[in-house]
Structure 1
Amino acid sequence: MTDQRLAASNILVLGGGSGIGRGAAVGYRRAGAHVTVVERSADNAEKLAAETDVEVIVGDATSAAVVRDAIRSVVDARGSMTNLTCCVGVFDHYASLRTLTDEEFEQAAEEMWRVNVLSALSSVKQAWPSLNEARGSVTLTLSESAFHPTGGGVLYAASKWALRGAVAHLAVDFAPRVRVNGVAPGGTTGTAFSGLRALRQDQVSVDAVDGRDERIARGTLMGVASTPEDHAAAYVYLADPVGARVVTGTVINSDGGHAH
């Protein structure tokens, strides 16, 4: 490892076993950080542990008890926790209010809020004492859907807009001890989205969707469909206590630029 800017950092990544979360976790480790990942999928956790020297905890990162134990584990083992990165999320596969029944809408909306928003806020709340002591930082994962009417349906987009607001408000609330920022990736290849159980949506590998990468590339100014690794540098920068010392309340849009 040549980049050691995070050598003194102890980072907890929630939902870091695959996709963008894994990209962030590996990016942190390559920058010298000690990284602990909470991952629900035992298969993803096993693969990450086998392929990297990242510490992996198998558990549901939407569970307050699991997150509490993970924070305690990091602090007990390393003496501090300097960054919490939240990458847990569920997708709505472009569900429309025009076609949902009242029951489907209510259950899907509650599930989306609980997984994408409430779990993040709960995790940040639990991490505050440790981050405050370490003068650390929080990084939330948003989406291009928090800025543009693309990349998901209204339920997903509303949850990401909520996290955009959380970044702004938490940055004020936690200042000056803890910085709070976000990354808003665009469409990304090499990922899989967990759909809403309320709508009986199975996990779908986005790589299996015909023409998806080409469609994403056409919609970006850079003409590319990004990979999880493409977003890692944004996470690493925001977690850097020196390079990003005065950066808070900021969202980095790693979406290739919107062509329209």
Structure 2
Amino acid sequence: MSGRMEGMRVLVVGGGAGIGRGAALAYLDEGATVTVVERSPRHAETLAEETRGRSLHVVAGDATAVPVLYEALAQAVGPDGRLDHLTCCVGVFDHYVSLRELSVEELTDAAEEMWRVNVLGTLVAIRTAWPALHEGGGSVTLTLSESAFHPVGGGVLYGSSKWALRGVVQHLAADLAPSVRVNGVAPGGTTGTGFSGLASLGGATSSVGAVEGRDERIAAGTLLGVTPTPADHAGAYVYLADPQAARVVTGLVVNSDGGRALR
């Protein structure tokens, strides 16, 4: 690695597994001091153990809870009150549930939970970190999905939350300018990831990497014929967080989907 983020202080919410973990480890490899918030005690413990002795600190807790965010910020922010970058990867999944399959009551509960976690949770994290980001002239990267562009990769609840975040990128790029850049990464299907389900619909967590034939279907749906890993998306996150390479980049979403949109 190049050390292009040497001396930077970075907070990753939802960084204990999957794509968030890949981004957090890439920041660490590039020289950043990284704080990760992770809800799963098992994932938090594993990440902490694997990075022991390095400049990565794990806060175990729900990143949509304001006290947890403040705890993480206290660790992440430097003595000068500066935070250089925030990456938001918190999200829940709808397991492709159809509108037709839900009662009105189930729909209401599921939608409120989905949008509260995926959209409001992201906005709250950014607002909580705003003073430190402003102080540091920092940046924010949101995690979207191919479902923010096409009706794939989830159902209407998940997809609509990611479409909302696509709008958040552009609106906050304008709102937080000129001191803070705001961008996003929209990964396509990725192997070795898992999704927390909606508690209102039973709360199941899928280990999608174990679904038979999934990796082959992902590869077949891309122009490049590849099945991405979390590490394959990390370069996009590092680029957008780099204050030199991406100095004039804001309001952009990088589609790291292997050319799914053109297939």
Identity percentage over the alignment? 64
- What amino acid maps onto 1:4 in structure 2? G
Distance 1:4 1:166 in 2: 30
Judged with a 3 Å threshold, the aligned counterparts in structure 2 of structure 1 residues 74 and 201 are, in CA distance, closer, same or farther, namely: closer
Distance 1:49 1:254 in 2: 27
Q: RMSD in angstroms over aligned alpha carbons?
A: 1.1
Give how far 1:8 is off: 2.1
Distance 1:235 1:133 in 2: 21
CA displacement, residues 208-247 of structure 1 (integer Å, 9 cap, x when unaligned)? 2111111111100011111000000000000000010000
Residue matched to 2:102: 100
Distance 1:91 1:189 in 2: 16
1:29 aligns with 2:28: yes
Distance 1:210 1:103 in 2: 33
1:182 aligns with 2:181: no
SS of the residue corresponding to residue 84 of structure 1 reads: strand
CA displacement, residues 52-74 of structure 1 (integer Å, 9 cap, x when unaligned)? 23211111101112112211222
Distance 1:118 1:9 in 2: 26
Residue matched to 2:62: 60
- Quick check: 1:11–1:82 contact (8 Å CA) kept in 2? yes
Of 222, 238, 241, the match for 2:240 = 238
1:1-260 → structure 2 map (5 Å cutoff): 2-52=1-51, 53=54, 54-75=56-77, 79-258=81-260, 259-260=262-263
**Structure 1 ranges of 4+ moved more than 6 A:** none
- Quick check: 1:144–1:253 contact (8 Å CA) kept in 2? yes
Distance 2:46 2:94 in 1: 26
Q: Which moved more, 1:193-202 or 1:72-81?
A: 72-81
Task: Report how many residues are paired.
Answer: 259
Distance 1:208 1:129 in 2: 41
- Quick check: 1:10–1:78 contact (8 Å CA) kept in 2? no
- Is there any run of 5+ residues in structure 1 with no aligned partner, and where? none
- The TM-score with structure 2 as length reference comes to 0.96
Distance 2:35 2:71 in 1: 12
